[in-house]
Structure 1
Amino acid sequence: MRKFKVASLFAGAGGLDIGLELSNGFETIYANDIDKDACATFSKWSDAEVVCGNIKDIHERDIPDADIITGGFPCQGFSAAGPRKVLDERNTLYKELSRVIEAKQPLAFIGENVKGLLTLGNGEIMEAIKNDFSSKGYRLYYQLLNAADYEVPQDRYRVIMIGIREDIDIGFEFPKPTGRKSIKDILSDLPEPKPEDICHAPYSSRYMSRNRKRDWDEVSYTIPAMAKQVTLHPSSPDMIKLEKDLWKFGEGSTRRFSWQEAAAIQSFPKYIDFEGNLTSKYKQIGNAVPPKLAKIIGTELFNTLNKALERKKKKVVV
């Protein structure tokens, strides 16, 4: 069976790429990220060439040709929780993805970002992205998905973007929800973590401004990249609302998810070994695309591309 070759930009620890490879239709041959710990983590599970550095400093000729280019470009400027400035220079990093796509002309690309991307600047940023990729010869398909609908036990809304090169484009349909799993479904067989695997930082006023706990039979809140903002393990007592934007802990032992539990909720396979200190591990996990979601999207993309290439082949023969 053919495997499409993948070059991954803003790769992080490789959540997106792990999922694509688990779908059995893709092989990552190149990965880039600016975070040295994420690069080290990626290198431990993948045989891809991993280049650690700023994508702005990497020339297109130094990136191998690939069938698919992926890029979960940094999203700080798009986040609903952060500054939503149309001119925020961080929002232009998608252009680095566009630059490489224009040069390499892959069959398709995959991008992902937070849902704030859809409304930033009254939709102007999303429209600019569509026009940019269109000028490079790609039709862009995008949809807001919740990972919880795809067997990932957390509410995690992300905009998934699929670009198909126009000469092979036959359309793309995002996969329908495949079902839900609870925190208990995922964590019930994990051992009690060691104290050093849990963030014990003080709980800030920001942390205490809303409920941070869900029960065993529910899905988790979003796993964040900041260690001290990681939500509570379901064994913790319920939080009590005191007033608007002010909660307190109930009686009993309260703790955050360990990094291993956060990784499991993100749907990382157990064999992934994260490099770096505790803060770095939480960061890599929280920044990732859930591999389970990526696997499901990858299966759909694999089938779509094979149909598209077969159709193009028949047209050439005729």
Structure 2
Amino acid sequence: MESKLTFIDLFAGCGGLSEGFIQAGFKPIAHVEMNKDACDTLKTRTAFHYLKENERVDEYYEYLKGKISRDELWSKVPLHLIKSVINKEISPKTLPEIFEVIDKELLNNKVDLVIGGPPCQAYSVAGRARKNMNDDPRNHLYKHYVKFLKRYKPKMFVFENVPGILSASNGEYLEKIFKAVKREGYNLEKKVLNAKNFNVLQDRKRVIIIGWRKELKFEYPKFEEKEIQFEVLTHLFSDLPKLKSGQGEWNVSKYVKNTNTYLESTGIRNGIDFTTQHIARFNNENDLKIYRIAVEKWISENKRLNYAELPKELIKHSNTKTFSNRFQVVNHKGISHTVVAHICADGHYYIHPDINQNRSITVREAARIQSFPDDYFFESSRTAAFKQIGNAVPVLMAKGIADKIKEMI
């Protein structure tokens, strides 16, 4: 049997990038992530892939149904695989320990690929507006990324980040990254790619830097711009149970319709007759009135709600000049706007377009917008799940990149 190409995932989050590479046929050696909830999600997904590979996936579904505990699920997996999810902040202090775990996991294998992107707050426009980001240690996490290239000498790497990295400190940070990587023997190129061109029902731009060892003479792969034929409400949400504010299930939710071309072709709905975490936040009456106004305005006029134009009795924030678009409806006739981590704080920016449901989107709906398969389970809590999803790389985008890289290597 042909051995799989291997990768290490740095700043792995809940595993969107990794899941895409696994679906493309790559094998993870290790994931490194500082957030415990995201690591727990990665461990649970590691259990899924192990059990599926060994024709025992029903044992994973027992966990989704709440019939066995998380510890019981993890105990079904070889301990070294669970330990290959390394819950550490990457720093000079932790690097020796991280390298030790990875080296044990590698045995005689080589690392074909390093993937991942440092936390994007340091490069995001919003992050830079909050404080002087020159002093933010996250700006220098790329140096640790480069240390992994130096140690494992992969054939290629994928570095993902927000478009703000292009302009951060007038391009100085990006220039430093390029110089550091080239010193380790790599050529590299950057492009802004949009998730919607990878069949993701979301307008989400990301800078994707791809590098390769100089002796390989590769070029940046070509990605086509595709017209999306599908819509969020009709194709992405239509088979999920209709809910009101505060309703839903953490574990099993049965589908209410058969699958469709989009859900089947993307693997989002992937074989079982239920999903999980289709659970909506509770919203107070004031917010629900605003949601209704926002949806009516969007459906009838194709216009976004301006917070300052609401009836006075509904306005609860004294500041009506900034963040006037804080209430936003997910596009019902096309693709969603970008899902971000702030969705963990409130759902006002992601109002469900069905006025009869009158709520913000559920964890599962957010996961679907990010193209996670329906059997992907996000650990810990609803808030933690939303944050993980908002920070993730869309799975279909990751798979599209991985497919091209697999062809190249």
TM-score range relative to shorter protein: 0.7 to 0.9
User: After alignment, is 287-296 or 92-101 more displaced?
Assistant: 92-101
Please report how far the alpha carbon of residue 200 of structure 1 lies from its aligned counterpart in structure 2 after TM superposition.
3.6
Alignment partner, residue 228 of structure 1: 345
Are residue 110 (structure 1) and residue 164 (structure 2) matched? no
Are residue 52 (structure 1) and residue 53 (structure 2) matched? no
Question: CA distance change for structure 1 residues 154 and 138 in 2, over 3 Å: closer, same or farther?
Answer: same
Alignment partner, residue 223 of structure 2: 175
Matches within 5 A, 1:269-308: 269-305=373-409
For 2:36 and 2:135, locate their aligned partners in 1 and report how far apart those are by CA, in whole Å: 28
Partner deviation per Cα, 1:162-208 (whole Å, 9 max, x = no partner): 11111223212242124423213211112235626223467685765
Are residue 71 (structure 1) and residue 110 (structure 2) matched? no
Are residue 120 (structure 1) and residue 224 (structure 2) matched? no
Matches within 5 A, 1:1-318: 1-24=2-25, 26-46=26-46, 47=50, 48=81, 49-56=84-91, 57-59=94-96, 60-64=99-103, 65-83=110-128, 85-180=133-228, 181-184=230-233, 185-193=235-243, 195=247, 197-200=279-282, 208-210=324-326, 212-226=328-342, 227-230=344-347, 231-236=350-355, 254-305=358-409
For 2:324 and 2:247, locate their aligned partners in 1 and report how far apart those are by CA, in whole Å: 22
For 1:106 and 1:141, locate their aligned partners in 2 and report how far apart those are by CA, in whole Å: 16
2:242–2:357 CA contact under 8 A, matched in 1:
no
For 1:271 and 1:14, locate their aligned partners in 2 and report how far apart those are by CA, in whole Å: 13
For 1:200 and 1:161, locate their aligned partners in 2 and report how far apart those are by CA, in whole Å: 40
Please report how far the alpha carbon of residue 80 of structure 1 lies from its aligned counterpart in structure 2 after TM superposition.
1.4
Identity across the alignment (%): 33
For 2:226 and 2:23, locate their aligned partners in 1 and report how far apart those are by CA, in whole Å: 16
> As a proportion of its length, which structure holds more helix?
2
For 2:111 and 2:242, locate their aligned partners in 1 and report how far apart those are by CA, in whole Å: 42
Q: Give SS of 1:121's match.
A: helix
Question: CA distance change for structure 1 residues 112 and 229 in 2, over 3 Å: closer, same or farther?
Answer: farther
1:147–1:157 CA contact under 8 A, matched in 2:
yes
Question: CA distance change for structure 1 residues 41 and 282 in 2, over 3 Å: closer, same or farther?
Answer: same
Please report how far the alpha carbon of residue 61 of structure 1 lies from its aligned counterpart in structure 2 after TM superposition.
4.2
Partner deviation per Cα, 1:292-317 (whole Å, 9 max, x = no partner): 00001100011111xxxxxxxxxxxx
For 2:331 and 2:202, locate their aligned partners in 1 and report how far apart those are by CA, in whole Å: 12
How many pairs are equivalent? 289
Please report how far the alpha carbon of residue 94 of structure 1 lies from its aligned counterpart in structure 2 after TM superposition.
1.4
Partner deviation per Cα, 1:119-176 (whole Å, 9 max, x = no partner): 1111111111111100111111211011112211111111011111112232122421
1:23–1:299 CA contact under 8 A, matched in 2:
yes
Q: Give SS of 1:167's match.
A: helix
1:80–1:116 CA contact under 8 A, matched in 2:
yes
Question: CA distance change for structure 1 residues 129 and 201 in 2, over 3 Å: closer, same or farther?
Answer: farther
| Superposition RMSD in Å | 2.1
Structure ID, larger Rg: 2
For 1:285 and 1:210, locate their aligned partners in 2 and report how far apart those are by CA, in whole Å: 19
Superposition TM-score, scaled by structure 2 size: 0.66
Partner deviation per Cα, 1:204-227 (whole Å, 9 max, x = no partner): 857653551133221111111122
Q: Give SS of 1:117's match.
A: helix
Q: Give SS of 2:122's match.
A: coil
Q: Give SS of 2:219's match.
A: coil
Give unmatched runs, 5+ long, in structure 1.
237-251, 306-318
2:280–2:360 CA contact under 8 A, matched in 1:
yes
Matching residue's letter, 2:168: L
For 2:38 and 2:180, locate their aligned partners in 1 and report how far apart those are by CA, in whole Å: 29
Partner deviation per Cα, 1:46-79 (whole Å, 9 max, x = no partner): 2542111112113234423511111221111111
Give unmatched runs, 5+ long, in structure 2.
51-80, 104-109, 249-278, 288-315
Matching residue's letter, 1:228: A
For 2:34 and 2:323, locate their aligned partners in 1 and report how far apart those are by CA, in whole Å: 28
For 2:183 and 2:282, locate their aligned partners in 1 and report how far apart those are by CA, in whole Å: 49
Superposition TM-score, scaled by structure 1 size: 0.84
Please report how far the alpha carbon of residue 109 of structure 1 lies from its aligned counterpart in structure 2 after TM superposition.
1.0
1:11–1:71 CA contact under 8 A, matched in 2:
yes
Question: CA distance change for structure 1 residues 188 and 298 in 2, over 3 Å: closer, same or farther?
Answer: same
